[in-house]
Structure 1
Amino acid sequence: MSVPNDYLIDRRRLRRKLGWWRLAALLAFGVAGLVVAVRLGGAESADKLTPHVARLELKGLITGDDDTLDLVKKIGDSNQAKALLLEIESPGGTTTGAERLYEELRRVAEKKPVVAVVGTVAASGAYIAALAADTIVARGNSLVGSIGVLFQYPNVYKLLDKWGVEVETVKSSPLKAAPNGFEPTSPEARAAIASLVADSYVWFKNLVRERRNLDEEELAKVTDGRVFTARQGQPLKLVDLIGGRREAIDWLVANKGVAKDLPVREWKKKTNLERLGLVEGAASLARVVGLQSLAGFLEQSVRLERSSGLDGLLAIWQGSTAN
Structure 2
Amino acid sequence: MATTADDLIDRRRLRRKLTFWRVCALLVAAVAIIGAAVALFGKEFGGKSVDHIAKVKIEGTILEDEALLKVLDDVRKASSVKGVILSIDSPGGTTAGGEAIFDAVRSLAAAKPVVAQVGTLAASAGYMIASATDHIVARKSSIVGSIGVLAQFPNFTGLMDKLGITLDEVKSSPLKAEPSPFNPTTEEERAMLRSMILDSYDWFVGIVADRRPLTRPEVLVLADGSVFTGRQALANKLVDGLGGEKEAIAWLSSKGVTGSLEVIEWKPKKEDAGWLFSKSAAQAVGQAIGLPGAGADILRESGADRLFLDGLVSVWHP
> TM-score interval w.r.t. the shorter chain?
0.7 to 0.9
Compute the displacement of 1:164 (Å): 1.6
Task: Name the structure 2 match of 1:258.
Answer: 257
CA RMSD of aligned residues (A): 3.0
2 CA distance for matches of 1:63 and 1:168? 34
Task: Name the structure 2 match of 1:248.
Answer: 248
User: Contact 1:62–1:90 at 8 Å: present in 2 too?
Assistant: yes
1 CA distance for matches of 2:231 and 2:272? 42
**TM-score in terms of structure 1 length:** 0.75
Identical amino acids, percent of aligned pairs:
44
CA deviation vs aligned residue, 1:96-128 (integer Å, no higher than 9, x gap)? 110000001111100100000000000000111
Per mean C-alpha deviation after superposition, the further-off stretch among 216-225 and 177-186 is 216-225
1 CA distance for matches of 2:187 and 2:47? 58
- Superposed, 1:147-158 pairs within 5 Å as 147-158=147-158
- Structure 2 counterpart of 1:121, which letter? L
Residue 55 (structure 1) aligned with residue 22 (structure 2)? no
Aligned in 2, Cα 1:68/1:175: closer, same or farther, shift over 3 Å? same
Per mean C-alpha deviation after superposition, the further-off stretch among 158-167 and 186-195 is 158-167
2 CA distance for matches of 1:269 and 1:162? 47
Task: Name the structure 1 match of 2:29.
Answer: 27
2 CA distance for matches of 1:73 and 1:136? 21
1 CA distance for matches of 2:47 and 2:216? 46
Compute the displacement of 1:220 (Å): 2.3
User: Contact 2:206–2:216 at 8 Å: present in 1 too?
Assistant: no
**TM-score in terms of structure 2 length:** 0.76
User: Contact 2:205–2:216 at 8 Å: present in 1 too?
Assistant: no
- Structure 2 counterpart of 1:190, which letter? R
Give the match's secondary structure for 1:70. helix
1 CA distance for matches of 2:265 and 2:231? 28
User: Contact 1:136–1:240 at 8 Å: present in 2 too?
Assistant: yes
Aligned length: 262
- Structure 1 counterpart of 2:212, which letter? R
Residue 70 (structure 1) aligned with residue 70 (structure 2)? yes
User: Contact 1:218–1:236 at 8 Å: present in 2 too?
Assistant: no
Residue 226 (structure 1) aligned with residue 226 (structure 2)? yes
Residue 191 (structure 1) aligned with residue 194 (structure 2)? no
Which 4+ runs in 1 deviate beyond 6 A?
none
1 CA distance for matches of 2:309 and 2:227? 22
2 CA distance for matches of 1:193 and 1:158? 22
Compute the displacement of 1:172 (Å): 1.1
2 CA distance for matches of 1:31 and 1:195? 59
Compute the displacement of 1:84 (Å): 0.5
Task: Name the structure 1 match of 2:217.
Answer: 217
Compute the displacement of 1:162 (Å): 2.5
User: Contact 2:92–2:316 at 8 Å: present in 1 too?
Assistant: yes
- Superposed, 1:1-323 pairs within 5 Å as 27=29, 31=33, 45-254=45-254, 256-271=255-270, 310-319=309-318
1 CA distance for matches of 2:161 and 2:168? 12
**What 5-or-longer segments of structure 2 have no aligned partner?**
1-20, 274-292
Aligned in 2, Cα 1:272/1:238: closer, same or farther, shift over 3 Å? closer
Give the match's secondary structure for 1:60. strand
CA deviation vs aligned residue, 1:9-35 (integer Å, no higher than 9, x gap)? xxxxxxxxxx99xx69x938x949x98
Give the match's secondary structure for 2:50. coil
1 CA distance for matches of 2:208 and 2:237? 10
1 CA distance for matches of 2:104 and 2:197? 23
Task: Name the structure 2 match of 1:7.
Answer: none
User: Contact 2:205–2:220 at 8 Å: present in 1 too?
Assistant: no
